[in-house]
Amino acid sequence: MVKRGPMTHVVSSLETPVIDLSLLSCGNEEEVKKLERACREWGFFQIINHGLADDLIQKTKAAIADFFKLPLEEKQKYSMELHDMQGYGHFVVSEDQKLEWGDLLGFSVYPFKHRNLNAWPTTPPEFRDVTEQYSAEVNRVGKELLGNISLMMKMDKSSLEELHGELMQIIRNNYYPICPRPDLVLGLSPHSDSNSITILLQDEVTGLQIRHDGGWVPITPMPNALLVNIGDCIEMWSNGKCKSIEHRVVTNKHKPRISVASFIEPAMDAYIEPLDQMVDCEQLRVYKKIKYGDYFRNYLEKRLEGKTHTQFGKLENE
């Protein structure tokens, strides 16, 4: 388990931006401005009116909760193999890795050829069908967000999606059990995400915190909203103008917490580098051209160490 160490200042009075996706998709000027501010100043924002049915959201949460309530021997039928990212358990990089206070169930969703159906539970019986429906809707939302970020970056709406090559989607279902000493351990250590954007579904228990203005800001879940954060790829494509922000999960001694993280990321052979229109006299080129697969492998070697992994993608003079 990861020990917390000294607590950093936690800010309770700030709220992340909230964006109406239905208005954003129609080109509403106010929502476009909100998106730009969120990407440049926060790196996180919540979206409402995203088109996912409330019933599907509730079924998704229930299916995940029911899986993690299963006896350990049942869950272990879907255990990850060493150095694999699909299945139940913890993704272990090295023998001396410290484990967080939580369990996960992860697998690849898109493209279909990367699916390992042995990692998809058949219990509870509705799990696969609900996950399939939810993931398809998140894929739609992810593409819509990429399109609007493309417009914000002065490109055609399809540009960012095309830069991804074969767009990948990974799902990570998280369960953080009650912790008797939340002052000593974290559910998830501080880090930024290596991918393009992450779309998170949370239950009603607050646990996620993001780094903002030198402190940690708790994210209070909004009913049926989705939380979106900018990943390293968007930061690199934007030459640092959009921010990939550190975040962490704190533990709770009163209630367990579940969340569903969907990672939208480029194909492993896609190249990431600052786009020409993002480089100017105020912001010289910060990142080098790098293959995403190389960046991702380096990320795994240094995972959950704040943003130290991003140095791998930066120019040497930075």
Tell me the CA end-to-end span of the chain in Å, nearest whole number: 34
The angle at the Cα of 8, spanning 4 to 14, to the nearest 5 degrees, equals 125
At residue 32, the pLDDT reads 96
At residue 82, the pLDDT reads 73
At residue 291, the pLDDT reads 97
Q: How many CA atoms lie within 13 A of 39 on its CB side?
A: 30
At residue 77, the pLDDT reads 94
Contact indicator for 264, 289 with CB cutoff of 8 Å = no
0.75 exceeded by pTM: yes
CB 58: neighbour CB atoms within 10 A? 12
At residue 84, the pLDDT reads 77
According to DSSP, residue 312 is labeled G
At residue 180, the pLDDT reads 86
pLDDT along the chain (318 residues), means of 10: 48 77 96 96 96 97 96 93 82 53 93 94 96 98 98 95 96 92 84 96 92 90 94 96 93 92 97 93 88 91 77 76
Residues in the chain: 318
CA distance 286 to 295: 15
